[in-house]
């Protein structure tokens, strides 16, 4: 501690994970004076709870109860939300840490995004919806869910798709394919032209390296990307006239000269012209196109298309000068003199390489390029009858096929390489070119070296060849080995075309020439060595492809632009992220590649028509839909165009931020088990087998089927649904040595809710032990079983098979009562998947420096349940063990107590205060009411005709504004509401939506922010009271909505501002109960810097803990207890009152006066808050001979004997334990939660102490939830025998001469079992203490049916009471284990400190108000008030009532009991209520 006190404490806390745990922690911290950084790895807060439909055991809608917390957390001034972020490192020590956070790019600017959704509307990509668990698809730009906070979109990217990486021109291939799939051809065309102006040309002749890279090729065949591109170009060409044309501005920038109108030069010119430069292209030939025109034959690229495409390029404002050779230095100088500031050389490689052999100049011998050029420029060329072509490349093939078309009878293609395309010596031509040539009749003579020509009468008559053994050496260098001695037959020929290579004619550009005969360039910028000169295409690289030339032309244009603007050429271009998309998420739907139709060989060799025919639009869209969307976001940029707010930032990059905090709370939750490799259940193979979380989405009104229960395969309504429990839990083979704690209850809930949705559904739950161990869970289970129509089958399912014809599923199981195997048909199967440790923990373990336990969850210990192994780093929720929502929320507050204990001295040092605008005085204004009507997604909108309610509202008196919203509570709508209040000068606001219980504070906050008193607000609940209860009758629901709205509007007109009452707070606490819970709470509050009075009824602290000696984890319980007692008794801020009872509690939040009694002595204590920790006790059994046979003992008694090494126990041969004694029966219908683990713990101790003893545990369900399952496993391994009995056939215990006999029926053996034990150990129930009733009465804090204290909300307010200022912990709440008690006690302390950390409290403003002139002082109000707020006083000699507004809870009892009408409830005054009724009735 001394070290800790020296370091400078930070008043801020880092919370990792923004599920319900992280949200609760953040709110508690921020509400007690700490700054919070909330880091969430996904794009929105809410976690798994936001995905759930309802919650057990109350069937509350999960979203409805969590949504206000999302908004409060998101809007909180002192909570800084960092979404898409992860912790990278944590340095420093408790009290003063430095955390490094990496913020991943969202690609949408949170400051600008309005959540309007225009981006998603145009996004062509479909990807699986993570929020809907893959049941449906969403777009690549999406909002995680409707109520998500931040209410903003996010773009999902998976690095760069392989097609784009493969493309030399870096085209957004996935983007245009995705657009084509949606029929957006013009958009696709424009997208391609961002990187490649030759859409049509490349659609025809590109060698499509994109397809080679396409991941789909690894599954079946790559997408036919080229054909899609061709279709896009043809579509735009043929629909050109009707398309909107953008105005092209005439370029006016610097002059740039481009030499050569081939693909490189035209591309370079195109982009420069688009950038505004004045471009002139100088072409020495009579037509533009370069090699595309001279070398590519028209049967591959029609001249009409080429001309059109070049025309489109020139339209950008390019000046094309034909027949204009630039051949000398003086030509260049002339251009410079004309003002050209930069030069691009793209003159290609148009010279045929010859072999330098005798006869090469003879008639009938051609160079390849020369031959093609002549033909392609329309000159007459006579090829004779027999043509030999030398060369194995694409040009040779083109020559051969052209020769055929010119009338040659026979064409032989002679090449060194082999036709075997698998060989290292393969021909360099593309495979499809070779195949097409062969189809047309070209004969390939491979592995032949050219030796010479044979002449006859001075005319060419044949070609001599030799055998070529190999072409490339082992390093891949061209080094042909030709066997001159092996003579090959002469190939007769009258024409010979030599197509073995090309070169560039660099005359005039000597100053650029390299020793390789090309222009040397920088490979990134395409700048030459000479200032102002750039080059690219074949002239720089040697003969390559059209698409490479295009890519290079584009890059050079960028360089020239930078050059002319005096910028650095390379900056930012050499470090572009080229990471390819990962493959792990790809889903490959079966669909084979489309076949491209072609002319038949016999129809094509007689002409130069394009041989490839076009795909139909339908085929193109089908083919485009085969795309796997590897990059998820396709980069089509449609969202960027659609976004009015300019929020889309595709080039956003990640950012590292460092923050300083004093503590860390780890709340990143757990993962869901993936059942796809439990093959026997068929998940992933059979569509109607879903996970439980998928079923939550199916049930949810905001889910994929809008709350209609449908099965995925055919949308059919399922009738029989089976739940299979323990999938990925209690499965040692899957390394899951634990129970997931929540699945039994959520499965029951899902079954009950499904049945409520559709009464014909027949739910069946297959389970091993039904673990309804939590508060009110057993009652829920019993209701489901007895009246809820849920069938429970005790059996773990062996396998699930699909019946292919129907999609139904056969479930194989075997019940224990007859051992037979059954096969039963179901329409749908739900797998109750368990928890898995969060996958992010593996990294966080190192980054945070914390230890994980053997289950790979975060390690904690019994007595420090929210602490990790690193001081100052706390943990809560399923991050440390599987647990349900109440325990998660409890731990979240508990972790806050841990953090605040360290940081108490820094409280308030890092926060900002909220300042509201001054309240507008509306006293002189006429009512101006604004009405906001909510669709609540489809909750309201699918039943109530919202637009007609809006119209109706517009006609109501005083209404100056009315509108509808999809979600009125969403952040953007709230912002909109503020601006509307201002614009329309509203002074009253009415919202027709959901329940004021959950949402009123949110809307009132918006009013305050707009300068209106929050009470000038009225709500009509048209969801619960209209759309939900009248789901079947849309018209009536709509009519009723109008009634309710009319009433609300009428009342709103009469609303008055109510001032808020601020009270002083006594910043100290009273803790009632000195057991474990009370002591921990007291210490925690004291450590946070506040005084505590601790009241204990007995003369010793410790409560039930004094009877506990062991824990399953073998902790030193008594040692810990002693240290706790010492801490409590020695702490300067804690005053302990032993042998003391609370006899009276007066006062109210912040100002309590409690009377305590110690024997005859009475004392009054003043304090601000109360923690109730009065505990519970063991039930004293009257069954199973307890009390009449000394050898029948309770588990507590056994534990004491074990601790004292009892001799009788050591000698015992047989010991029987009976579970559920007084639990789960008529007396105590609830489960006592801890008895199973306690019995198992004692059985293990016993087995260790007396290994020879036979130990039998008679149980109904073993409820070793969470990691306790391990001890169940350990006990079985230790030889403890477990025998299950049924509630209807309880064990029978008898005695003869003191000898005990236990009889029980074993279901599996179908036999009666008898055991004669030495000891019979009973596990009695935990029952509430008798004194709880008094405390309940004094505090007006309710008890539940079972006599335990009832918290404010079982899910989200587990340690609060409805009465503010009073908190709850320990067994007084419900049975629980020591670690759970400690968490809850800390939570109660943290919650209490949210109040006493401030010296002021703002009370309820809706309170009772007496008109003392009318009051007759009858005293009825005083009698009916549950909070003792009104008192009769004598004023001016007259008895009148007076209300203590701090005590008043606004319940209204007094107002409606007052006979004189003197008592009124503010906010519900007589005239206000009466007007509502009048309007309702007069409608």
Partner 1 sequence: MTTIVLNQQDPKFKEEVASRPGAENFKLCFTCGTCTASCPVAEVNDEYDPRKIIRMSVFGMREAVLGSDVIWMCQRCYVCYARCPQNVKFADVMGVLREMAVEEGYAPKERIEEIEELDRFCQELRCDLVQNMTNPDEKMKSSIKAKLDKHLAR
Among 382, 473, 680, 1162, binds partner 1 (CB under 8 A): 680
CA dist list (Å): 1314 to 6, 724, 799, 816, 1375: 67, 33, 35, 19, 32
Whole-number minimum distance, CB 823 to partner 1, in Å?
9
Member of 223, 519, 1315, 1352 binding partner 1 (CB under 8 A)? 1315
Nearer to partner 1, 814 or 1107 (CB): 814
Q: Does 1272 bind partner 1 (CB under 8 A)?
A: yes
The yes or no reply on residue 153 touching partner 1 (CB under 8 A) is: no
Work out whether 731 is an interface residue with partner 1 (CB under 8 A): yes
Q: How far is CA 927 from CA 552, 930, 990, 1350, in A?
A: 69, 10, 12, 42
Query: Looking at 116, 1002, 1281, 1338, which residue binds partner 1 (CB under 8 A)?
Result: 1281
d(CA 56, CA 742): 10
Instruction: Estimate the share of the chain in helix, then strand, then coil, as percent rounded to the nearest 5.
Output: 30, 25, 45
Stretch near partner 1 under the rule CB under 8 A, chosen from 545-553, 596-604, 909-917, 1281-1289: 1281-1289
In the complex, what is the shortest distance from the CB of residue 1276 to partner 1, in angstroms, rounded to a whole number? 5
- Decide if 315 contacts 232 (C-beta within 8 A): no
Could you say whether residue 1273 binds partner 1 (CB under 8 A)?
Answer: yes
CA dist 259 → 75, 283, 307, 318, 329 (Å) = 61, 6, 19, 13, 13
Sheet with 96-103: list strands edge to edge: 85-93, 96-103, 655-661
Per CB under 8 A, 467 contacts partner 1: no
By CB under 8 A, which span of 903-911, 935-943, 1158-1166, 1310-1318 interacts with partner 1? 1310-1318
Shortest approach of partner 1 to residue 1262 CB, angstroms? 8
User: Which helix (DSSP H) or strand (DSSP E) does residue 696 occupy?
Assistant: helix 692-699
Angle at 122 between CA 119 and CA 125, to 5 degrees: 100
Beta strands in 1004-1096 (DSSP E): 1017-1021, 1061-1064, 1068-1072, 1091-1095
Measured from the CB atom, the residue of 1227 and 1299 that comes closer to partner 1 is 1299
Residue 1244, Cα to own-chain centre: how many angstroms? 43
CA distance 1002 to 432: 66
Give one DSSP letter per residue of 937-980, joined into a string.
Answer: TTTTTTTS-HHHHHHHHHTSTTEEEEEEES-TTSHHHHHHHHHH
1198-1217 residues in contact with partner 1 (CB under 8 A) are: 1214
Residue closer to partner 1, measured from CB, 1294 or 1402: 1294
Which segment (874-882, 1269-1277, 1339-1347, 1455-1463) binds partner 1 by CB under 8 A?
1269-1277
Q: Is 1262 one of the binding residues for partner 1 (CB under 8 A)?
A: yes
- Near partner 1 by CB under 8 A, which window of 1117-1125, 1225-1233, 1270-1278, 1359-1367? 1270-1278
Which is nearer to partner 1, 235 or 766 (by Cβ)?
766
Is 1310 near partner 1 (CB under 8 A)?
Answer: yes
Map the footprint of partner 1 across residues 770-829, applying CB under 8 A: 795-799, 812-816, 818-822
Nearer to partner 1, 193 or 1284 (CB): 1284
Helix axes 1378-1396, 885-903, angle to 10 degrees: 60
* Per-position DSSP letters for 799-812, written without gaps between them: EEEEETTTTEEEEE
Site for partner 1 (CB under 8 A): which residue of 845, 1306, 1422, 1442? 1306
Does position 738 bind partner 1 by CB under 8 A?
Answer: no
The whole-angstrom separation of Cα 1103 and Cα 967 is 50
Closer to partner 1 by Cβ: residue 1116 or 1273: 1273
Supply the minimum distance, in Å, between the C-beta of residue 1352 and partner 1: 38
Minimum distance between the CB of residue 1252 and partner 1, rounded to whole angstroms?
8
Nearest approach, Cβ of residue 1278 and partner 1 (Å):
8
How many C-beta atoms surround the C-beta of residue 534 within 10 A? 30
Q: Which residue number, 1 or 1311, has a Cβ lying nearer to partner 1?
A: 1311
Q: Is 703 helix (H, G, I), strand (E, B) or coil?
A: coil
Number of residues that bind partner 1 (CB under 8 A): 47
Is 636 a binding residue for partner 1 by CB under 8 A? The answer is no
Closer by beta carbon to partner 1, 741 or else 1038: 741
729 vs 1010, beta carbon nearer partner 1: 729
Spatial CB neighbours of 14, under 8 Å, sequence gap ≥ 6: 36, 37, 39, 87, 97, 99, 659, 661, 663, 664, 665
Task: Give the largest Cα separation in the chain, rounded.
Answer: 149
User: According to the binding rule CB under 8 A, does residue 474 interact with partner 1?
Assistant: no
Closest separation between CB of residue 1272 and partner 1, Å?
8
Tell the smallest beta-carbon distance from residue 574 to partner 1 (Å). 54
Segment contacting partner 1 (CB under 8 A): 182-190, 726-734, 1096-1104, 1468-1476?
726-734
Q: How far is the CB of 729 from partner 1 (least distance, A)?
A: 9
Q: Does 730 bind partner 1 (CB under 8 A)?
A: yes
Determine which residue in the list 128, 558, 596, 768 makes contact with partner 1, applying CB under 8 A.
768
CB of 814 to partner 1, least distance (A): 4
Tell me how far, at minimum, the Cβ of 1181 lies from partner 1, in Å.
23
How far apart are the two ends of the chain, measured CA to CA in Å?
Answer: 71
Helix 225-238 vs helix 617-625: angle between axes, to the nearest 10 degrees? 140
3-state class of 471 per DSSP?
strand
1312 binds partner 1 (CB under 8 A): yes
Q: Report CA Rg, the chain.
A: 42
Contact 1453, 1478 (CB under 8 A): no
Shortest Cβ distance from residue 233 to partner 1 (Å)?
55
Q: Does 1250 sit near partner 1 (CB under 8 A)?
A: no
Q: Rounded distance, CA 447 to CA 465, Å?
A: 10
Least Cβ distance, residue 38 to partner 1 (angstroms): 38
* Residue nearer to partner 1 on the CB measure, 799 or 920: 799
CB of 1281 to partner 1, least distance (A): 6
- Residue 1311 is a binding residue for partner 1 (CB under 8 A): yes
Cα separation of 47 and 41, whole Å? Answer: 10
Q: Are 666 and 14 in contact (CB under 8 A)?
A: no
CA 1186-1188-1191 angle, to 5 degrees, is 65
Map residue 327 onto helix, strand or coil: coil
Q: Which is nearer to partner 1, 227 or 1219 (CB)?
A: 1219
Q: How far apart are CA 948 and CA 930, in angstroms?
A: 16
Options 11-19, 38-46, 226-234, 1301-1309: segment touching partner 1 (CB under 8 A): 1301-1309
745, 799, 833 from 748: Cα distances, Å: 5, 21, 14
DSSP 1385-1406: HHHHHHHHHHHHTSSEEEEPS-
Choice between 1177 and 1306, CB closer to partner 1: 1306
Residue 1313, interface with partner 1 (CB under 8 A)?
yes
Of the listed pieces 456-464, 683-691, 1014-1022, 1271-1279, which binds partner 1 according to CB under 8 A? Answer: 1271-1279
Residue 1316 binds partner 1, judged by CB under 8 A: yes
Q: DSSP strand E in 83-179: where?
A: 85-93, 96-103, 126-128, 137-139, 141-142, 154-155
Closest approach of partner 1 to the CB of residue 789, in Å: 24
**Nearest CA to 865 among 880, 853, 852, 854?**
880
- Provide the binding-site residues for partner 1, judged by CB under 8 A: 680, 726, 730-734, 768, 795-799, 812-816, 818-822, 1214, 1254, 1256, 1262, 1272-1273, 1276-1277, 1279, 1281-1282, 1284, 1303, 1305-1306, 1308-1316
């Amino acid at each position: 501690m001394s070290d800790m006190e020296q370091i400078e404490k930070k008043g801020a806390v880092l919370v990792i994970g923004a599920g319900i745990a992280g949200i609760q922690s953040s709110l508690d911290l921020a509400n007690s004076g700490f700054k919070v950084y909330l880091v969430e790895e996904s794009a929105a807060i809410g976690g798994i709870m936001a995905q759930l439909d309802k919650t057990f055991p109350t069937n509350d809608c999960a979203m409805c109860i969590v949504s206000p917390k999302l908004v409060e957390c998101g809007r909180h001034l002192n909570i800084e939300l960092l979404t898409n972020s992860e912790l990278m490192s944590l340095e420093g020590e408790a009290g003063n840490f430095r955390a490094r956070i990496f913020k991943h790019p969202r690609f949408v600017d949170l400051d600008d995004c309005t959540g309007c959704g225009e981006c998603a509307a145009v996004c062509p990509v479909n990807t699986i919806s993570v929020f809907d668990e893959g049941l449906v698809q969403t777009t690549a730009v999406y909002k995680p869910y409707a109520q998500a906070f931040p209410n903003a979109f996010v773009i999902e990217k998976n690095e760069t798709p392989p097609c784009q990486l493969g493309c030399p021109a870096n085209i957004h291939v996935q983007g245009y394919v995705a657009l084509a799939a949606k029929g957006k051809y013009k958009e696709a065309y424009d997208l391609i032209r961002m990187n490649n102006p030759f859409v049509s040309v490349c659609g025809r002749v590109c060698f499509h390296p994109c397809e080679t890279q396409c991941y789909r090729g690894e599954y079946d065949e790559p997408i036919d990307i080229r054909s899609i591109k061709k279709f896009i170009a043809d579509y735009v060409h043929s629909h050109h006239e009707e398309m909107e044309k953008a105005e092209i501005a005439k370029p006016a920038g610097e002059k740039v000269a481009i030499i050569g109108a081939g693909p490189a030069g035209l591309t370079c010119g195109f982009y420069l012209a688009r950038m505004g430069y004045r471009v002139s292209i100088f072409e020495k030939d009579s037509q533009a196109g370069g090699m595309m025109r001279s070398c590519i034959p028209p049967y591959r690229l029609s001249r009409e298309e080429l001309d059109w495409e070049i025309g489109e390029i020139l339209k950008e404002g390019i000046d094309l000068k034909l027949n204009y050779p630039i051949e000398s230095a003086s030509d260049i100088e002339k251009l410079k003199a004309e003002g050209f500031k930069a030069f691009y050389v793209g003159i290609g490689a148009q010279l045929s390489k010859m072999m330098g052999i005798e006869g090469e100049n003879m008639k009938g011998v051609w160079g390849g390029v020369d031959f093609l050029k002549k033909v392609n420029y329309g000159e007459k060329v006579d090829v004779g009858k027999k043509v030999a072509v030398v060369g194995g490349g694409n040009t040779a093939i083109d020559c051969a096929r052209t020769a055929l078309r010119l009338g040659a009878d026979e064409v032989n293609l002679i090449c060194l390489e082999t036709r075997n395309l698998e060989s290292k010596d393969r021909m360099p031509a593309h495979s499809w070119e070779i195949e097409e040539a062969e189809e047309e009749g070209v004969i390939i003579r491979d592995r032949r070296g050219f030796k010479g020509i044979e002449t006859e009468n001075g005319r060419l008559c044949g070609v001599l060849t030799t055998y070529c053994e190999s072409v490339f050496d082992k390093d891949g260098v061209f080094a042909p080995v030709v066997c001159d001695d092996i003579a090959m037959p002469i190939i007769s020929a009258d024409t010979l075309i030599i197509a073995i290579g090309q070169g560039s004619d660099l005359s005039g550009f000597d100053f650029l020439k390299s020793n390789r005969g090309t222009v040397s360039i920088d490979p990134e910028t395409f700048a030459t060595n000479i200032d102002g000169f750039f080059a690219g295409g074949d002239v720089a690289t040697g003969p390559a492809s059209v698409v490479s030339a295009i890519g290079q032309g584009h890059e050079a244009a960028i360089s020239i632009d930078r050059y002319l603007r005096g910028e650095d050429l390379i900056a930012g271009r050499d470090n572009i992220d080229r990471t390819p998309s990962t493959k792990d998420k790809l889903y490959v739907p079966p669909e084979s590649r489309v076949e491209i139709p072609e002319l038949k060989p016999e129809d094509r060799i007689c002409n130069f028509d394009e041989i490839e025919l076009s795909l139909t639009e339908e085929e193109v869209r089908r083919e485009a839909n085969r795309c796997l969307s590897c990059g998820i976001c396709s980069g089509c940029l449609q969202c960027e165009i659609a976004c009015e707010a300019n929020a889309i930032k595709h080039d956003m990059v990640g950012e590292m931020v460092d923050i300083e905090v004093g503590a860390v709370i780890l709340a990143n939750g757990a993962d869901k088990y993936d059942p796809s490799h439990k093959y026997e259940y068929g998940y992933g193979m059979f569509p109607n087998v879903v996970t439980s979380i998928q079923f939550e989405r199916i049930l949810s009104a905001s889910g994929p089927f809008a709350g209609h229960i449908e099965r995925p395969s055919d949308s059919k309504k399922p009738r029989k649904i089976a739940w299979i429990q323990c999938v990925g839990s209690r499965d040692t083979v899957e390394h899951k040595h634990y129970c997931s704690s929540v699945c039994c209850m959520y499965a029951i809930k899902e079954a009950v809710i499904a049945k409520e949705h559709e009464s014909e559904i027949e739910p069946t739950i297959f389970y091993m032990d039904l673990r309804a161990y939590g508060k009110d869970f057993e009652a829920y289970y019993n209701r489901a079983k007895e009246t809820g129509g849920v069938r429970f089958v005790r059996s773990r399912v062996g396998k699930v098979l699909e019946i292919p014809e129907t999609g139904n599923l056969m479930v194989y199981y075997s019940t224990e009562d007859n051992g037979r195997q059954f096969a039963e048909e179901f329409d749908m199967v739900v797998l109750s998947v368990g928890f898995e440790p969060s996958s992010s923990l593996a990294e966080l373990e190192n980054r945070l420096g914390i230890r994980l336990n053997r289950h790979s969850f975060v390690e904690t210990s019994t007595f420090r349940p929210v602490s990790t192994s690193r001081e100052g780093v706390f943990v809560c929720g399923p991050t440390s063990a599987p647990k349900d929502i109440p325990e998660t929320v409890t731990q979240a507050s508990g972790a806050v107590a841990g953090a605040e204990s360290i940081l108490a001295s820094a409280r308030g040092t890092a926060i900002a205060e909220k300042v509201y605008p001054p309240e507008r005085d509306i006293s002189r204004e006429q009512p101006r009411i604004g009405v906001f009507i909510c669709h609540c997604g489809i909750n309201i909108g699918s039943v109530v005709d919202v637009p007609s309610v809006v119209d109706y509202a517009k006609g109501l008196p005083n209404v100056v504004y009315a509108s509808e919203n999809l979600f009125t509570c969403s952040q953007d709508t709230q912002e909109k509401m503020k601006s509307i209040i201002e614009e329309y000068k509203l002074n009253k606001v009415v919202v027709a939506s959901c329940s004021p219980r959950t949402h009123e504070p949110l809307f009132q906050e918006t009013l305050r922010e707009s300068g209106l008193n929050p009470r000038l607000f009225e709500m009509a609940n048209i969801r619960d009271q209209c759309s939900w209860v009248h789901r079947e009758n849309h018209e009536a629901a709509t009519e009723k909505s109008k009634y309710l709205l009319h009433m609300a509007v009428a009342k709103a007109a009469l609303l008055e501002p109510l001032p808020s009452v601020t009270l002083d707070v006594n910043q100290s606490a009273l803790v009632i109960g000195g057991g474990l819970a009370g002591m921990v709470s007291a210490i925690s509050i004291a450590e946070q810097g506040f005084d505590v009075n601790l009241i204990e009824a007995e003369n010793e602290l410790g409560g039930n803990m004094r009877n506990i000696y062991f824990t399953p984890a073998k902790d030193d319980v008594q040692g810990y207890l002693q240290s706790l007692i010492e801490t409590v008794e020695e702490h300067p801020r804690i005053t302990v009152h032993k042998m003391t009872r609370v006899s009276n509690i007066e006062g109210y939040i912040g100002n309590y006066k409690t009377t305590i009694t110690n024997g005859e002595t009475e004392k009054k204590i003043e304090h601000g808050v109360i923690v109730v920790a009065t505990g519970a006790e063991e039930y004293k059994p009257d069954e199973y001979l307890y009390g009449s046979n000394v050898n029948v003992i309770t588990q507590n008694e056994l534990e004491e004997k074990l601790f004292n090494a009892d001799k009788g126990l050591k000698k015992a041969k047989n010991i029987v334990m009976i579970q559920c004694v007084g639990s789960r029966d008529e007396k105590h219908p609830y489960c006592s939660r801890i008895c199973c683990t306690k019995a198992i713990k004692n059985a293990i101790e016993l087995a260790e102490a007396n290994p020879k003893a036979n130990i039998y545990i008679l149980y109904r369900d073993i409820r070793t939830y969470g990691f306790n399952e391990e001890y169940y496993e350990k006990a079985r391994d230790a030889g403890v025998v477990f025998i299950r009995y049924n509630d209807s056939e309880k064990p029978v215990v008898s005695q003869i001469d003191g000898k005990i006999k236990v009889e029980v029926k074993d279901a599996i053996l179908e036999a009666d079992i008898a055991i004669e034990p030495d000891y019979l150990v009973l596990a009695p129930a935990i029952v509430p203490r008798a004194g709880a009733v008094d405390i309940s009465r004094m505090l007006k804090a309710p008890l539940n049916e079972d006599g335990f204290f009832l918290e404010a909300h079982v899910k989200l307010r587990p340690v609060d009471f409805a009465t503010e200022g009073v908190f709850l912990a320990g067994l007084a709440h419900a049975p629980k284990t020591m670690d759970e008690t400690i968490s809850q006690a800390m939570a109660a302390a943290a919650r209490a400190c949210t109040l006493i950390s401030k010296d002021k409290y703002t009370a309820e403003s809706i309170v009772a108000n007496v008109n003392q002139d009318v009051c007759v002082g009858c005293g009825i109000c005083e009698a009916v008030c549950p909070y003792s707020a009104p008192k009769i006083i004598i004023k001016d000699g007259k008895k009148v009532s007076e209300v203590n507004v701090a005590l008043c809870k606004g319940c209204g009892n007094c107002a409606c009991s007052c006979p004189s009408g003197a008592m009124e409830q503010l906010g519900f005054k007589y005239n206000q209520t009466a007007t509502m009724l009048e309007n309702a009735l007069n409608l």
